[in-house]
Amino acid sequence: MSQNIIDLKNITKIYDGETSVLDNIDLYIRKNEFLTLLGPSGCGKTTTLRIIGGFEYPTKGDVFFEGKRINDLPPYKRQINTVFQKYALFPHMNIFENIAFGLRIKKISEREIRTKVEEMLQLVGMESFAKRTVDSLSGGQQQRVAIARALVNEPKVLLLDEPLGALDLKLRKGMQIELKKIQQEVGITFVYVTHDQEEALTMSDTIAVMSEGKIQQIGAPEDIYNEPKTAFIADFIGESNIVKGIMIKDYLVEFADRTFVCVDRDFGENTEVDVVVRPEDIEITSAETGMLKGKVITSTFKGVHYEMIIKEDGRRWMIHSTITAPVGSYIGMNIGPDLIHIMKRGA
C-alpha cells in the first residue's frame, strides 16, 4: 500500500440510478509511474479520471490517496492537478496569469510566483509567450500552457484527459515524446486517458485497458501487446486476425481446417476458443510449402511494409510484410507456435 499513491477500491459509478458507467473497479497507481487508461469512448476511462480528480463522486467504493480515504475531498483540496481535454485556459487572463492562478490562491509572494511561472514556461518551451492572450495561441501552444498551469502547483499526481486529442497527427507525435520527457523530468505520477492505442503503447509504463466500465487487463505495454488476455484487447491494441478454433489438447489447436502446434495449455480438451494472430506474425512462403494457402486480394504499400488481404477458404487474413506478391496470385502462409495466441471464446 505504501508504494501506491492512488488506490481505487470497488469503485462503481451509476448515473441517474440506471446505467452503470463504472462497474466495481479496482485500480492501484504506483508512485512516479506513467499510467494510461486506454479504451474506446464510453468505456468509463474519463469517469475514472474525474473520480480521481474529485469532479465526480463514486456511487460505491473508496478512493485512497497515499493511504488516506479522499472520497469527500473537493478538488481544490487534493494534491492532484488536471490537464483538461480542451485545455480550459481562462480566456480573460493572459498566459502568465493563467499559470500563476493556482499560486496566487496559495498567497505566495509575487517574486516567488514570477520565478516559478518563468521556470514552468521554460519547461514547456513557451518563455516568450507570458504576456500573450489565450486565443492568440495555437492548439499545441495552449496545450503546453495547460500543462505548465497544472505542474506549477507541484502536484503529486497529474491527470491528463485526452490532452492531445485536438492536435493534428504530426504535432501529436512530437507532444507524446515531450510529455514523456516532462514526466521524467518532474518525476511525478501521470495518469493519462486516451483512446489511441499507439499513444498508450509509446508513452506508458503501465496500461489499463478498459471497456464497458471494467478494467480488462492491466500491465506493461509489451505484455498487453504480446499477451492480450481477450480477443477484444487483441483487436483494440494493434490489428489482429481473429478466427474461431478448437483447442484439441494442450499445445495443439485446430483452426482454418488444420492443426497447429502452439504454446498454450490448460484450456481443456476439445474446447472452443478464439485464435488471434498479428498480421506481422504471418510469414509468406510459396503456395506449395505454406501451412495455409490463399489468394492475394489486395496489396497496399504502407511505407515500411505492405498490407495484404489474403482470402483462404472464405476466411480473410491480413498480413503485414516487407515482401509482397501480385494480386490474384496464390501464396502460402506460415505461423510459428509462439505467435499463435489462444483466448477463451467470448471473453
Partner 1 sequence: MRTNQKILAYPYIVWLIIFIVVPLILVLYFSLSFRDGGITLENYRRFISPVYGKVLYRSLKLAFISTVFCLVLGYPMAMIIAGADITKRNLMVLLFVLPMWMNFLLRTYAWMTLLGKNGVINNILGYFNLPALNLLYNNGAVILGMVYNFIPFMVLPIYSVLAKMDKTLIEAAKDLGANEITVFRKIIFPLSLPGVITGITMVFMPAVSTFVIPKLLGGGQFMLIGNLVEQQFTYVYDWNFGSAISIIMMVFILIAMAIMAKYEDPMEESGGLW
Residue 157: CB minimum distance to partner 1, A = 11
Give me the amino acid identity at 134.
V
- Residue numbers 149-188 binding partner 1 by CB under 8 A: 149-150, 153
| Residue entry with cell 493511504 | 67
| Closer residue to partner 1 in complex, CB, 46/211 | 46
Distance CA 71, CA 64 (A): 8
Q: At what angle do helices 139-151 and 95-105 cross, to 10 degrees?
A: 20
Distance CA 179, CA 307 (A): 31
DSSP E strand stretches across the chain: 4-15, 19-30, 34-38, 60-65, 68-69, 80-83, 157-161, 189-194, 206-211, 214-219, 241-249, 252-255, 258-261, 271-277, 282-285, 292-301, 306-312, 315-321, 330-335, 341-344
Distance CA 187, CA 27 (A): 21
Establish if 13 lies at the interface with partner 1 (CB under 8 A): no
Residue 104: CB minimum distance to partner 1, A = 8
Q: In this structure, are residues 200 and 164 in contact, taking their beta carbons and an 8 Å threshold?
A: no
Task: Give the x-and-dash track for 209-248 against partner 1 (CB under 8 A).
Answer: ----------------------------------------
Residue 82: CB minimum distance to partner 1, A = 5
User: What cell numbers appear for 227 in the block?
Assistant: 499477451
Residue 254: CB minimum distance to partner 1, A = 53
Residue 148: CB minimum distance to partner 1, A = 12
| Closer residue to partner 1 in complex, CB, 158/277 | 158
| Closer residue to partner 1 in complex, CB, 80/130 | 80
Task: Give the x-and-dash track for 124-153 against partner 1 (CB under 8 A).
Answer: -------------------------xx--x
86-90 LR contacts (CB < 8 Å, sep 24+): 86/166, 87/142, 87/143, 87/145, 87/146, 88/146, 89/134, 89/142, 89/145, 89/146, 89/149, 90/134
Q: In this structure, are residues 306 and 324 in contact, taking their beta carbons and an 8 Å threshold?
A: yes
| Closer residue to partner 1 in complex, CB, 145/282 | 145
| Closer residue to partner 1 in complex, CB, 150/233 | 150
Residue 75: CB minimum distance to partner 1, A = 4
Give me the amino acid identity at 286.
S
Q: Roughly how many angstroms between the first and final C-alpha of the chain, as a whole number?
A: 30
- Residue numbers 39-98 binding partner 1 by CB under 8 A: 53-55, 74-76, 80-82, 84-86, 88-92
Task: Give the x-and-dash track for 102-121 against partner 1 (CB under 8 A).
Answer: x--xx---------------
| Closer residue to partner 1 in complex, CB, 78/278 | 78
Residue 134: CB minimum distance to partner 1, A = 11
75-78 LR contacts (CB < 8 Å, sep 24+): 78/53, 78/54
Classify strands 206-211 and 214-219 as parallel, antiparallel or unpaired: antiparallel
| Closer residue to partner 1 in complex, CB, 102/221 | 102
Residue 39: CB minimum distance to partner 1, A = 21
Give me the amino acid identity at 207.
I
Give the interface size with partner 1 as a residue count (CB under 8 A).
Answer: 24
| Closer residue to partner 1 in complex, CB, 92/258 | 92
**Residues within the interface to partner 1 (CB under 8 A):** 53-55, 74-76, 80-82, 84-86, 88-92, 101-102, 105-106, 149-150, 153
